[in-house]
Chain A
Amino acid sequence: MKLKFVYLFFFGMALYLGLNSFVENNPYFIITTKDVEVKVPAGFPKPVYDFKENKVTPEGFVLGRKLFYDPILSADSSVSCAFCHQRIAAFAHIDHTLSHGINGLIGNRNVPPLQNLIWQQNFMWDGAINHLEVQPLAPLTNSQEMGESLKHTLEKLQRNKTYVDDFYAVFKDTAITSENLLKALAQFTSLMISANSKFDKYQRGEEEFTEHELSGLKLFRAHCENCHKEPLFTDNTFRNIGIKPDTALRDSGRIKLTGVVDDYMKFKVPGLRNVAMTYPYMHDGRFRTLQQVLKHYADGVFYTNYDKSIEKNVGLTNQEQSDIITFLKTLTDEQFLHDRRFADPNFR
């Protein structure tokens, strides 16, 4: 009887150690120099982000990934970046209309996906952040998100010997500075590039579109392309698409930032890659499905000083709306959604 427990104990230990070394030496998690090469996809513009001051290295990328998945960054170690930015949703948050944070707090806006960030001139629904590297400071210090101060974050990391070693390996500095913390995170997020969807393969002549996908593409180019410009499917502008202001949320968009009256209810035109995976939609997550989004444009009930260019979408038939959605689904990039480089390294 006693012996049985001893056997079980040793068996458990062996299993644990075996699994541990399996994870540590697993090629799935190993990042090579080749893995961190920045390749600008054919047809994409020159990136906005300048890698000259922050060259991506395997060690830097791995450190950025570790930080991204580590709840140590939040005030009570409960929320990591990945808590809201789920890999399976192109780093948006499936089914959450508004962001969730520490202490069960609910934020003010829908979590945007993280993809093709190096082509963005600014970040956030209102463009409040002007550089990829300083972007993480916003959720980090927001009381409804990670609720932590930058100073205390650095102190916590500095107390952790593994992080001190990790930072030293990348930046050759025993002091963990905000600059290096932000640059490590940027090394990770800058490589989140989605450019291999069915649409891309169709463009390259590698795959055929169905009749409905083709019809959807034509309709998309006629009706949506004005703002959702290929290949990033955004023109990086801010627009008012006439959705009804929410009197409870009282989010008036970019005007809050600029004070310019014309910016009332203007929000960033989101890129539509992987859009089928990033539901719900809009800055406040008010639309659960793409059908609801298309219906908004087709119905033509628009509020307050909206962008007149959306008027041409009024009256899109059910079939046309359906075809556009069929096309939008071809923007799902399975390779990006399952890219091993972005997987949680802590799962063991």
Chain B
Amino acid sequence: MSQVKLVMRFVICIAVLSTAGSFTEPVEKAKLNIRIEHFAGPQRLSLDSVEYKNALGQTFTVSRFRYYLSNVILKNTDGAEFQSPDYFLVDEAEPDSKLITIKGIPVGNYSSISFTIGVDSLHNCSGAQSGALDPVNGMFWTWSTGYIFLKLEGHADASTSPGHIFEYHIGGYAAPNNCIRRVTLNFKKKGIGIANDKTDELPLKADILEIFKPPTNIDFSKLSSVTDFHNATTIANNYEDMFTINADE
């Protein structure tokens, strides 16, 4: 009998302690999954096999598409901001890389998301790093320090490069060749609620055709290779608006 009492006391103790615990940490944390899909106009991007057309009507295929996505900021409807410390390397060839999980978000109602395509200047100047920022990932210039923010490679008959390839390796964190671009997307209606009992999902769409569209129409016969600061900002200005929230989902 006394044993039952003891157990009861213990249970009450635990209950009291756990409530006390939740008082010391009043903000609950939740997760948001960002599911990214790559498109070429209305079609889903498909590596190597499918031909697409740029704004000038030149056909091309894509063999590689990868980029850094970082400094994700979620703004809630009260104006408060949450910034994720994580860096993500998104790669069309790696399905897992297209599902990004933002952790530690305070529960609430959010009205917009913003993020950087690329890597901020501080992390371009921080020496040896690991994870997504490990130079072994092949997104780092070893001859002139800095991350390659975005790589788009493929084949276009109009290209004058050997093998008719095109390659855009875009990076540069300092003026006058700064290619860091920030994207802000507002959520429709009242915003999205991020709760702790379920993981919310945000469907993002990146359209690679935007990379060839104005501000500067890209002509493969004139610009098939960008692998340093030359013309880098031109491409960055083009891809700045390639992201939308995928409303079809």
Contacts and interface: CB of A to CB of B under 8 A. Distances in A.
B177 interface: yes
Contacts of A134: 127-128, 135, 140, 142, 145
Contacts of A129: 144-145
Interface in A178-200: 178-183, 186
B176 interface: yes
Interface string A242-271: 000000000000000111100000000000
Interface string B165-199: 00000000000110000000000000000000000
Interface string B139-154: 0101111100000000
Interface string B119-161: 0000011111110001110101011111000000000000000
Main secondary structure of the interface of B (DSSP, over half): loop
Contacts of A186: 127-128
Contacts, number: 69
A237 interface: no
A284 interface: no
A348 B17 CA distance: 66
Interface stretch (A3-11, A90-98, A136-144): A136-144
Contact-size category for B: 20 to 34
B222 interface: no
Interface in B90-140: 124-130, 134-136, 138, 140
Contact of A179 (B129, B143, B177, B229): B129
A54 B229 CA distance: 31
Main secondary structure of the interface of A (DSSP, over half): helix
A348 B210 CA distance: 62
Contacts of B176: 258-260
Contacts of B124: 130
B230 A128 contact: no
A259 B230 contact: yes
A179 B134 contact: yes
B128 A178 contact: yes
Contacts of B229: 257-259
A140 B136 contact: no
Interface string A97-138: 000000000000000000000000000000011111110011
A137 B129 CA distance: 13
A128 B128 contact: no
Contacts of B136: 150-151, 154, 177-178
Given A130-B125, A150-B136, A177 B130 contact: yes
Contact of A131 (B145, B177, B230): B145
A137 B135 contact: yes
A140 B142 CA distance: 9
B133 to A, nearest CB: 9
B134 A177 contact: yes
A181 B135 CA distance: 12
A159 to B, nearest CB: 16
Given A259-B176, A259-B229, A259-B230, A138 B128 contact: no
B139 to A, nearest CB: 12
Interface in B215-244: 229-230
Contacts of A54: 127
A150 to B, nearest CB: 5
B134 A128 contact: no
Nearest to B143: A138
A177 to B, nearest CB: 6
B138 to A, nearest CB: 8
A179 B132 CA distance: 12
A130 B136 CA distance: 18
A186 B128 CA distance: 10
A54 B127 CA distance: 11
Given A178-B128, A178-B134, 5 more contacts: A128-B143, A137-B135, A137-B142, A177-B136, A186-B127
Interface of B: 124-130, 134-136, 138, 140, 142-146, 176-177, 229-230
23 contacts: A129-B144, A129-B145, A130-B124, A130-B125, A131-B126, A131-B145, A134-B135, A134-B142, A134-B145, A137-B135, A137-B140, A141-B142, A150-B135, A150-B136, A151-B136, A177-B130, A177-B134, A178-B135, A179-B128, A186-B127, A257-B229, A258-B229, A259-B177
